[in-house]
Amino acid sequence: MAFVKNLAYEASAGSGKTFMLVVRYLTLLFQGADASKILALTFTNKAASEMSERIVETLEHLETRGELDEIIKESGMSKEKILTQRAKVLTSFLNAHTKIMTIDSFFTQILRKFSLYVGLMPDFTTYASQHEIKLLSRFLKEVSVAGKKELLVALALESNKRVSDIFQLLNEFYEKEEEFGSISFQKSSLKEYEDQALQALTQLQNIVKNCKGASATLLKAVEADSFDVLRSKSWIGKETLEYWVFKKCYTPEMDSALHTIQDALRAYNRAKEQNFFYGLRELTSIYKKAKKALYQEESELGFSDVTQLVYTILHRLDDSEFLYFRLDATIEHMLLDEFQDTSIMQYKILKPLISEIVSGQGVFESGSFFFVGDVKQSIYRFRGGVSALFGEVARENHTEVKKLLTNYRSQREVIEFVNRVFEEKITNYSPQLSRKEADGGYVEVIENDELLEATLTQVERLISLGAALNDIAILCATNGDGEEIKNLLQNRAIEVVTETTTKLINQRSVKAILEYLKYLYFEEDIYRHNFFALIDQKSMPLPKLDVTRIKLFDIIKQCIERYGLFSDDFHIIRFLDAVAKYEDIDALIFEYERLDVSAAASDLSGVRVLTVHKSKGLEYKHVIVMDRLKRAPASRDSIIYEYDGIILQNVYLRTAGRDTIDTAYANALAKEKALVREDSLNALYVAFTRAKEHLFVIKKSEHSSFELLDLEVGSFGSLKVEQQEQRHERKTKKLPYENLYYGTQSEILALENEGEEDLQAINFGLALHYMLEMIPAFSLDAIADAKNMLLNKYGFILTPKEIDDICMRVERLLQHSEFLNLIKEGRYYKEKALRYKNNLRYLDLLVQKEDGSFIVIDYKSAMNFQDKHRKQVNYYKEAVRNITNAEVEGYLCYLLEDSIEIVAV
């Protein structure tokens, strides 16, 4: 297969687009391309760093990687030759100034290079937490200086928006400015249309007045003393008045009056819309001014500013050809990932570069262009993504578009489920094939209005089957939903990794060092205590250091060495790397919150919780897609942007009822609705296709985000979790848990047991109590269920052997005659709360005999500390006796590994 210089893959999820992009990159390297001349653009920083890591990893293990065969095919080189060159290629890749980055950072780089053209210093920053607020206040100031306050208020009133929402509209206009092309807006008066409509209404009223059979309802229907009242009439949108109460009095003149009213109203709406947009444009120029002031004075830009400025530089300035030339000389090959989400503006910037490359002239003779994407996964309409872009770009650049038909990610059941669900819903959907060997998988659609609980149940189910926490992902609709499920999981002592937890500065080890630095800087004791708490050591004085003199890097290194911290902690290594960016301790302490580096994934342990949007491009063994917790806000964007392909054709102001009298508007509205639907479908498609092995969909019975899909409750395939995962899990578990809810007694028991045994033994004891608590009537039949519950709660803390051991001990107890005698013919209370002398205690088992006397039974899992155990039971006896005035006996019930021992106290 010859190397195709101008190539795209338009293929479904999991079919290997990113894989082929890596193959392409490596093929270029093996063909001798200079890594610094290959521009590979991704959408997220995460994707960019993963791509670099993947290239290195693939090169390191090339002989065993699937990529090798593809590189052989693509490059036409022999396997031997490729493997011989491997080391050289790897070294030069590692030493090259590579260009694997996000589109945003690529544009930021361009802007830095040419910033002086737009009056900007090259050291601008692209992130500031206060940016929005500063911009808003700056904008309001400028609005007031320009005397446009009334305009702003009028627009807000007109669109029923708060002033801060107008801000959103301004931003849309600002970002799409270059797309408006010939679309322009005129100010015009509304009065003439109002008059026309009211005149026609008078005609209509006269007809009705002269009609003998006019009913009271009809008279009321044509009554209107103002234009606004007239606008609200429901008959106004009808094609003819030969209907309803009008029918009796109908004459063709009625319709001509109706049509005049409709024409006037249509013109009125359009004029009003023009005025609105005219005003919005005026404000947009003020908004732009505010932005400019902000980036010139404070050197702060948002990514959309960067895009706008780069566009201005590259397209507007006279010598832009020269600029492109300077830029181009360093880029010969372009590779674009997730192309369906590129915005039109972004493409417009890249376009001249792409054209040069595909023209294959001059420096580009050996150049190449490659992009991959899946229109079904386009979910960034709100950010300027237009799904037609993929096809347009391929057409414009004469790119050969290929498909990839096999899904390499998922097991068959998942692939077939996705095929079934989406085949009828997404236009031009072509079902994916599965690999022969991937013939397993499991999918379950669950309906449950307790979404959080139902999700938890599936997580616990997976855990109990031995799934590693890191392989489980919960995909939710919003960050808020993610927060809720995270809290629930954490309350049940299940570790969770979310976007916030994945930030490097939120890692415990990094936090500790930051507290240490803050102490050195502010000399406030609180930081010192925090530091020691975070490293699990007793607080002690810290030696003073002159932080202004010693290098930041050295201060941190000293701290790590002195306190023996985290020798194998990858977060710290990343942190040291990041710290190099800061000049001194001041900069770090006041700026670190902006540090957008993510933690080392290998060191994060927990169930992944993320939004569907963030899950793009990722894959997990077990995926739970959770319905949205709250009802979706009706998507009511005030402005409808109508596209023809990738050309912005028209802009409309959303107005209720307008579609009945304005066909152009009605068409635009229908298109918009279809796009909104497509966006939601695409998001669901993205979500479902993240699963490699198991997919759970948890939906609610009403207002479900899965409504579009007509999902039926049921399951397909069988749920099998590979057991080796559990071993892996145990190895990576580092910190012991605290604050757990393990059953009624957990905290008290844990306290009582303090210093008594090791943590594992304490957990074992807690689990044993839990199991006994979960067996309702001491019947052997209940053991299986209780074991499941035990697995759910303790499956990932105890080994399968320990779990079995607990079950054995409990089973033996339930058959032990002495024990059965004790509880015979009594009413028993498990985990009975007892408040005595201001102490709250729980009795494992309290039996009330028919004669009114009581028996207190306390379970234990080991015979050491018998004295303490006796004391405890004596205390209970005394308490029960004093409270009830009845006879009380007490027993210690030892559930040992191979026997049951009952000791009277």
Candidates 408, 828, 836, 875: give the one binding ligand ATP (CB under 6 A).
408
- Does the annotation list 817 as a binding residue? no
Question: Please, which residue, 15 or 196, has the CB nearer to ligand ATP?
Answer: 15
Toward ligand ATP, which CB reaches closer, 74 or 642?
74
Asked if 716 contacts 417 with a C-beta cutoff of 8 angstroms, the reply is yes
Q: What is the DSSP letter of 854?
A: E
> Is there binding between residue 13 and ligand ATP (CB under 6 A)?
yes
Of positions 7, 10, 14, 729, contacts ligand ATP by CB under 6 A = 14
Q: How far apart are CA 812 and CA 407, in angstroms?
A: 51
**Residue in 6, 7, 8, 16 binding ligand ATP, rule: CB under 6 A:** 16
Q: Is 15 annotated as a binding residue?
A: yes
Q: Is 373 labeled as ligand-binding?
A: no
429 near ligand ATP, rule: CB under 6 A:
no
Min dist CB 3 to ligand ATP, Å, is 17
For 838: left if phi > 0, alpha if psi spans -120 to 50, otherwise beta; the answer is left
Single out the residue of 537, 587, 599, 589 nearest to residue 562, CA to CA.
537
Distance between CA 894 and CA 903 in Å, rounded? 8
Strands (E), 376-522: 400-402, 406-407, 433-434, 442-447, 472-476, 496-497
Nearer to ligand ATP by C-beta: 98 or 377? 377
Minimum distance of ligand ATP from residue 348's CB (angstroms): 25
Q: Does 18 bind ligand ATP (CB under 6 A)?
A: yes
Gap between the Cα atoms of 693 and 417, Å rounded: 12
Q: Least distance in Å: CB of 72 to ligand ATP?
A: 12
Quick one: DSSP state of residue 13?
T
Cβ pair 496, 476 in contact under 8 A: no
Distance in angstroms (rounded) separating the CA atoms of residues 585 and 538: 25
Using CB under 6 A as the binding rule, whether residue 15 contacts ligand ATP is answered as yes
Q: Looking at beta carbons only, is 66 or 122 nearer to ligand ATP?
A: 66
Q: What is the amino acid identity at position 302?
A: G
13 among annotated binding-site residues: yes
User: Rule CB under 6 A: which of 598-627 touch ligand ATP?
Assistant: 617, 619
Give one DSSP letter per residue of 52-65, joined into a string.
HHHHHHHHHTGGGS
Could you tell me the smallest distance in angstroms from the CB atom of residue 612 to ligand ATP?
Answer: 12
Q: Which is nearer to ligand ATP, 71 or 814 (CB)?
A: 71
Instruction: Give the torsion sign (CA, 604, 608, 614, 616).
Output: positive
What are the distances in angstroms from CA 628 to CA 488, 572, 596, 675, 680? 16, 36, 28, 20, 12
The region of 10-18, 559-567, 589-597, 844-852 touching ligand ATP under the rule CB under 6 A is: 10-18
Q: Does 49 appear as a known binding residue? A: no
Determine the distance from the C-alpha atom of residue 656 to the mean position of all C-alpha atoms in its chain, rounded to a whole number.
Answer: 33
Ranked by CB distance to ligand ATP, the top (closest) residue is 16
Q: How far apart are CA 55 and CA 478, in angstroms?
A: 33
Closest CA to 584 of 557, 555, 548: 548
Q: Which is nearer to ligand ATP, 142 or 341 (CB)?
A: 341
Neighbours of 267 (CB within 10 A): 17
Give the range of 7-15, 152-160, 298-306, 769-777 binding ligand ATP by CB under 6 A.
Answer: 7-15
Residue from 6, 7, 17, 721 binding ligand ATP (CB under 6 A): 17
Do 144 and 151 form a contact (C-beta atoms < 8 A)? Answer: no
Question: What is the nearest approach in angstroms of ligand ATP to the Cβ of residue 17?
Answer: 3
Residue linked to tokens 């802009």: 651
The region of 15-23, 74-82, 234-242, 513-521 touching ligand ATP under the rule CB under 6 A is 15-23
What DSSP string runs through 331-388? Answer: --EEEESSGGG-BHHHHHHHHHHHHHHHHT-GGGTT-EEEEEE-GGG---GGGTB-TT
Q: Is 409 near ligand ATP (CB under 6 A)?
A: yes
Nearest approach, Cβ of 619 to ligand ATP (angstroms)?
A: 6
β-pairing verdict for 900-904 and 888-895: antiparallel
Contact 861, 827 (CB under 8 A): no
Site for ligand ATP in 362-391 (CB under 6 A): 374, 377
3-state secondary structure at position 200: helix
Q: How many helices (H) and strands (E) does the chain have?
A: 32, 22
Nearer to ligand ATP among residue 409 and residue 622 (C-beta): 409
- Quote the least distance from Cβ 376 to ligand ATP, whole Å: 9
Question: How far apart are the C-alpha atoms of 639 and 470, rounded to whole Å?
Answer: 42
The answer on whether 12 is annotated among ligand-binding residues is yes
* DSSP-based three-state secondary structure for 546: coil
Binding segment (CB under 6 A) for ligand ATP, from list 11-19, 491-499, 652-660, 842-850: 11-19
Decide: is 441 part of the binding site for ligand ATP (CB under 6 A). Answer: no
What's the min distance (Å) between Cβ of 157 and ligand ATP?
Answer: 45
- 19 makes contact with ligand ATP (CB under 6 A): yes
**Stretch binding ligand ATP (CB under 6 A), from 8-16, 163-171, 649-657, 818-826:** 8-16
Question: What is the closest distance, in whole angstroms, from the C-beta atom of residue 54 to ligand ATP in the complex?
Answer: 9
Site string for ligand ATP, 60-79 (x = CB under 6 A): ------x---x---------
Residue number with CB closer to ligand ATP (14 or 367): 14
CB nearer to ligand ATP: give 406 or 479: 406
Dihedral pair phi/psi, residue 631, rounded to 5°: -65, 145
How far apart are CB 121 and ligand ATP at their closest, in Å? 38
Q: Does 17 belong to an annotated binding site?
A: yes
**Interatomic CA distance for residues 649 and 497, integer angstroms:** 44
Contact code string over 680-719 relative to ligand ATP, x by CB under 6 A: ---------x------------------------------
Helix axes 103-114, 303-316, angle to 10 degrees: 60
Place of tokens 């005397």: 147
Q: Considering only 6-14, 55-63, 97-105, 311-319, which stretch makes contact with ligand ATP by CB under 6 A?
A: 6-14
Which range in 16-24, 55-63, 395-403, 480-488 contacts ligand ATP by CB under 6 A? 16-24
Q: Which amino acid is at 318?
A: D
How many residues touch ligand ATP (CB under 6 A)? Answer: 17
**Is 467 a binder of ligand ATP (CB under 6 A)?**
no
Would you give the binding string for ligand ATP spanning residues 287-316, x where CB under 6 A is met?
------------------------------
User: Do residues 336 and 327 touch, judged by C-beta distance below 8 A?
Assistant: no
Q: Which two tokens stand for residue 667?
A: 């068409």
Residue 168: alpha-carbon gap to chain centroid: 22
> Which CB, 410 or 655, lies closer to ligand ATP?
410
If binding is defined by CB under 6 A, does position 340 make contact with ligand ATP?
no
- Residue 837 Cα distances to 492, 829, 875, 880, angstroms: 31, 21, 11, 12
CB of 98 to ligand ATP, least distance (A): 20
Give the shortest CB-777-to-ligand ATP separation in angstroms: 50
Q: Min. distance of Cβ 12 from ligand ATP in angstroms?
A: 7
* Closest to 210 measured CA to CA, from 170, 176, 251: 251
The answer to the question of whether 755 is labelled as a binding residue is: no
> Is there a contact between 686 and 304 (Cβ–Cβ < 8 Å)?
no
Residue list for the binding site for ATP? 11-18
Residue list for the binding site? 11-18
Binding footprint of ligand ATP on the chain (CB under 6 A): 11, 13-19, 66, 70, 374, 377, 408-409, 617, 619, 689
